[in-house]
Structure 1
């Protein structure tokens, strides 16, 4: 089982030229599909899931964003809607700012209940413990990608993560969308039909 958001070896980045147009970065040959609904420019990748070898440590930018925006299961791609849960490693959860249930920011898309047990078996980042969260509110929080800085010699790119409402998003070529999970409840693994005990 290869998760929906996993990148494949055939999905390489096509050649592109980044230019400045109307006070923001753009592709020289830009199309409407290159930006999201908020006008953020996204990294281009060939879309050919299932072709080649799965790259389990890499995420396809478009599928990751679609899973976040449409609440699609990151494993099977089915709509989660109100049944959506998020599985975070124990370390990710413990890095949340403030006392429980402080808002948590994550770049991991949701899971449907039917894929939770599979994720606990197959996902390496969950092997040292995890939590399952069901949020009442989900909001775009940040973007990870390449931030361009205009200089007299041209554009200087730097890897960065910035807030979703940061004015510098006009200089960002995004790779991943982060969301903030708010007003969530912790779900016990047995309520998701996960028989293996939660590691601590």
Structure 2
């Protein structure tokens, strides 16, 4: 049985006034911006195939297409509703912890913003990415992830509160994380019209020949130059970087390498 596509949506950039300002101490709980909420559902799909790809190949599109339907590399994205925002401009509704809203995931991954507060995620040490303790083997040299980065302010809380991380996440400190591809659903055409034919577990790389018939779900980046750390090691390095350096005659202070 072919599973229906997950509720993914096109990226809709927010204006400067709409950008989330972070999580304040008076907020009721720490819920990441990217988390899907109850009431946010897939919009009715109006998908069709057209012969518009180089070589006259079929390409998937919406019959009521909009510019935001495709990302910067031309991948088509699913559509999903968004709940109203609260006084902190964060989504409302009961969180569905194991799911990410596709539009908000895409927003954070495309702009490299923290998945909790939507502020720029780059730290003085580089970009922080978290993964579950069993998500990768110790010897993997190529890491691809659909988890948006974390800012230094929220990394400890996220590690402790997220059941998947269990307080002992794998920490990747990356100098760069170029775009890699997308997770999603392969579509085909047959009896009954356009329909889903496959949901691969692995991401489709940009440039793959199946991209024209793919409905994207999550944006994926590849960590190119990175270090593996424990949470304790990361927090120690962040603390050391912020700590004032005592004056020592004849010594030079070197910041931790990213």
Q: TM-score range by the shorter chain?
A: 0.7 to 0.9
Q: Which residue of 2 aligns with 1:159?
A: 199
Please report how far the alpha carbon of residue 165 of structure 1 lies from its aligned counterpart in structure 2 after TM superposition: 2.2
Q: Which residue of 2 aligns with 1:63?
A: 104
Q: Which residue of 1 aligns with 2:116?
A: 75
Q: Which residue of 2 aligns with 1:197?
A: none
Higher-Rg member (1/2): 2
1:112 and 2:151 equivalent? yes
Superposed counterparts of 1:106-145, under 5 Å: 106-127=145-166, 129-145=168-184
Gaps of 5+ in 1: 195-200
Gaps of 5+ in 2: 1-29, 53-57, 86-90, 237-258
Which stretch shifts more, 111-120 or 133-142? 133-142
Superposed counterparts of 1:1-200, under 5 Å: 1-21=30-50, 22=52, 23-48=58-83, 50-82=91-123, 83-94=126-137, 99=139, 102-127=141-166, 129-151=168-190, 154-157=193-196, 158-160=198-200, 161-193=203-235
Deviations 1:87-116 (A, max 9, x none): 11221121x7xx46x121111110011111
RMSD: 2.0
Distance in 2 between the 1:37 and 1:141 partners? 12
Higher helix share: 1
> Could you tell me the TM-score, scaled by structure 1's length?
0.86
Count residues with an aligned counterpart.
190
